[in-house]
């Protein structure tokens, strides 16, 4: 049995609307799981050493539920483009380079290192259509310490010739990928149709059969923009709605369903979100950069829909998902200003998205509470000399102006994670 005791100021989501604070508290971890949080050390452990973090904050690790791993080199480039111009000018040529597994290894190692640096310890990924690079990435994730979902990307139409798959081969390769990568406690496979306009009905139905046979979930985009939603409806008139395409092709109900953006959900989409317990992913920077729109986050939260946070690198330009908690609040204010019926977010709502809601996809994660895994970060005090802040003010300041230099420690399953050590290991895969 392994036991660690930490002292510090603990901040975690209690509910979607409230943050819980334990000042100068003791947190006890046994075999990677939190056993107690309180003012005193339980008698069972009272003679064990304590790691005292002083005024530093202990918070849950961040969860990023929408990352385009092969777009890492693109972040911050072409941000004056709209979606389809950006895809054709930057994204598709970059993704084509992942036919070279040496290039893929170098890029993916940097992605993993940067996520760890910024405290993202649970993540959900897109890759590319290339089997070997996707296989490599999955194996790298298994050695990284991250909790993750990843799968081989699918697209067989309305894309550049060099990225269009042959439909039958795409289905066969995806089934092979799922069969050869059953996953483990940390890393699991997921189906990844890019988005409906790039996938034929035959491909989507083939993926639906794989979902049912292997009990695997799906990760894609949903009503990301009005143009994308209208195009999907035009291409699939028999379904009439973006969400209905995935439902009609059998992709839902077999594992986690994670849908990025969900900016313009119709009543049909909302029915599907509820029926299949879909996790919608709000990516504020990305939807601003490509001018897609602003997700009606608070309205959807109050309706009971699950909303997590995502960086969407490279559509988003910052790897740290904590920045997206801050940006979500900012965008919600704009949404409320122009559409008063859409209430703005409180910081507690946004932090919940980036930790508790996203973490819930990975089991008992996303909160610091007894019974949860100790997947956690230690954040420095974020205070200026001569001016003390409350714990909640320090946490909010970190999300607005902090960076990876403010993260003192990272823990997964109670074990310390060193991003540079993991990076060196990734290069050796």
Which pLDDT value is given to residue 53? 97
The single-letter DSSP state of residue 370 is: T
Query: Taking Cα atoms as reference points, which of 427, 403, 375 lies closest to residue 145?
Result: 375
SS3 category, 394: helix
How far is it, in rounded angstroms, from Cα 215 to Cα 134?
A: 20
Query: The domain 62-360: what is its CATH number?
Result: 3.20.20.140
Which pLDDT value is given to residue 162? 96
Which pLDDT value is given to residue 325? 98
Tell me which H or E stretch contains 221: strand 218-222
Half-sphere exposure of 407 (CA within 13 A, CB side): 26
How far is it, in rounded angstroms, from Cα 246 to Cα 274?
A: 14
Q: By the 8 A CB rule, do 259 and 244 touch?
A: no
Which pLDDT value is given to residue 36? 97
How far is it, in rounded angstroms, from Cα 286 to Cα 277?
A: 24
Q: At 9, phi and psi to the nearest 5?
A: -100, 115
| Token pair 């996520």 in the structure block, residue | 115
| Token pair 């089991």 in the structure block, residue | 363
The pLDDT tens digits of the residues spanning 40-87 come to: 999 999 999 999 999 999 999 999 999 999 999 999 999 998 888 899
Residues in the chain: 429
Q: 75 Cβ partners below 8 Å, 6+ apart? A: 313, 314, 316, 317, 318, 319
Query: Taking Cα atoms as reference points, which of 265, 379, 262 lies closest to residue 322?
Result: 379
How far is it, in rounded angstroms, from Cα 244 to Cα 236?
A: 10
Q: 301 Cβ partners below 8 Å, 6+ apart? A: 16, 307, 349
β-strand pairing of 3-13 with 19-30: antiparallel
How far is it, in rounded angstroms, from Cα 196 to Cα 228?
A: 9
How far is it, in rounded angstroms, from Cα 81 to Cα 33?
A: 45
* Distance from the first to the final alpha carbon of the chain: 31
Which pLDDT value is given to residue 252? 98
Has this prediction a pTM greater than 0.95?
yes
The token pair that represents 235 in the structure block: 């291409």
**Spans of all domains in the chain:** 3-61+366-419, 62-360
Dump strand ranges (E) for 31-61: 33-38, 51-60
| Token pair 């996938």 in the structure block, residue | 199
Q: By the 8 A CB rule, do 70 and 95 touch?
A: yes
DSSP track, 80-91: TS-HHHHIIIII
Which pLDDT value is given to residue 83? 82
pLDDT of the chain, 429 residues: tens digit per residue: 899 999 999 999 999 999 999 999 999 999 999 999 999 999 999 999 999 999 999 999 999 999 999 999 999 999 998 888 899 999 999 999 999 999 999 999 999 999 999 999 999 999 999 999 999 999 999 999 999 999 999 999 999 999 999 999 999 999 999 999 999 999 999 999 999 999 999 999 999 999 999 999 999 999 998 888 999 999 999 998 999 999 999 999 999 999 999 999 999 999 999 999 999 999 999 999 988 899 999 999 999 999 999 999 999 999 999 999 999 999 999 999 999 999 999 999 999 999 999 999 999 999 999 999 999 999 999 999 999 999 999 999 999 999 999 999 999 999 999 999 999 999 988
How far is it, in rounded angstroms, from Cα 3 to Cα 396?
A: 31
Within the chain, what is the greatest distance between any pair of CA atoms? 68
The single-letter DSSP state of residue 54 is: E
Sheet containing 3-13: give its strands across.
Answer: 33-38, 19-30, 3-13, 51-60, 376-379, 407-412, 415-416
Task: State whether the Cα torsion 248-249-252-256 is positive or negative.
Answer: negative
3-61+366-419 is classed in which CATH architecture? Roll (2.30)
The pLDDT tens digits of the residues spanning 16-42 come to: 999 999 999 999 999 999 999 999 999
The token pair that represents 67 in the structure block: 């990352």
Which pLDDT value is given to residue 290? 83
């Amino acid at each position: 049995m392994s036991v660690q005791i930490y002292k510090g100021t603990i901040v975690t989501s209690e509910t979607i609307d409230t943050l819980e604070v334990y000042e100068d508290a003791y947190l006890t971890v046994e075999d990677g799981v939190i056993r107690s949080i309180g003012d005193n050390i339980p008698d069972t452990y009272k003679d064990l050493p304590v790691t005292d973090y002083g005024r530093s904050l202990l918070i849950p690790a961040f969860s990023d539920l929408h990352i385009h791993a092969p777009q890492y080199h693109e972040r911050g480039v072409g941000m004056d483009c709209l979606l389809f111009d950006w895809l054709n000018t930057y994204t598709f040529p970059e993704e084509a380079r992942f036919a070279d597994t040496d290039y893929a290894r170098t890029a993916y190692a940097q992605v993993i290192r940067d996520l760890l640096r910024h405290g993202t310890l649970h993540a959900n990924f897109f890759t590319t259509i290339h089997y070997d690079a996707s296989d490599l990435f999955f194996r790298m994730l298994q050695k990284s310490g991250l909790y993750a979902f990843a799968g081989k990307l699918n697209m067989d139409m309305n894309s550049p010739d060099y990225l269009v798959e042959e439909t039958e081969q795409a289905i066969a390769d995806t089934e092979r990928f799922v069969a050869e990568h059953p996953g483990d406690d940390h890393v699991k496979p997921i189906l990844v149709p890019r988005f409906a306009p790039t996938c034929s009905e035959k491909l989507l139905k083939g993926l639906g059969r794989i979902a049912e046979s292997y009990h695997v979930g799906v990760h894609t985009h949903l009503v990301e923009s009005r143009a994308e939603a209208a195009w999907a409806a035009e291409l699939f008139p028999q379904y009439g709605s973006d969400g209905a395409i995935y439902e009609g092709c059998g992709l839902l109900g077999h594992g986690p369903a994670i849908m990025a953006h969900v900016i313009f959900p119709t009543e049909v989409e909302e029915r599907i979100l509820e029926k299949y317990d879909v996790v919608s992913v709000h990516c504020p920077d990305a939807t601003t950069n490509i001018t897609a729109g602003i997700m009606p986050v608070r309205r959807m939260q109050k309706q009971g829909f699950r909303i997590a946070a995502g960086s969407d690198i490279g559509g988003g330009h910052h790897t740290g998902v904590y920045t997206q908690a801050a940006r979500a609040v900012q965008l919600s204010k704009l949404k409320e200003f122009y559409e008063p019926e859409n209430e703005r977010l409180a910081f507690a709502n946004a932090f919940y998205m980036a930790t508790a809601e996203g973490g819930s996809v990975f089991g008992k994660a996303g909160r610091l509470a007894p019974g949860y895994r100790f997947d956690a970060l230690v954040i420095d005090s974020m205070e200026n000399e001569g001016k003390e802040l409350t714990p909640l003010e320090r946490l909010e300041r970190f999300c607005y102006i902090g960076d990876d230099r403010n993260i003192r420690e990272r823990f997964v399953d109670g074990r310390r994670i060193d991003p540079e050590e993991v990076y060196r290991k990734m290069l050796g895969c």
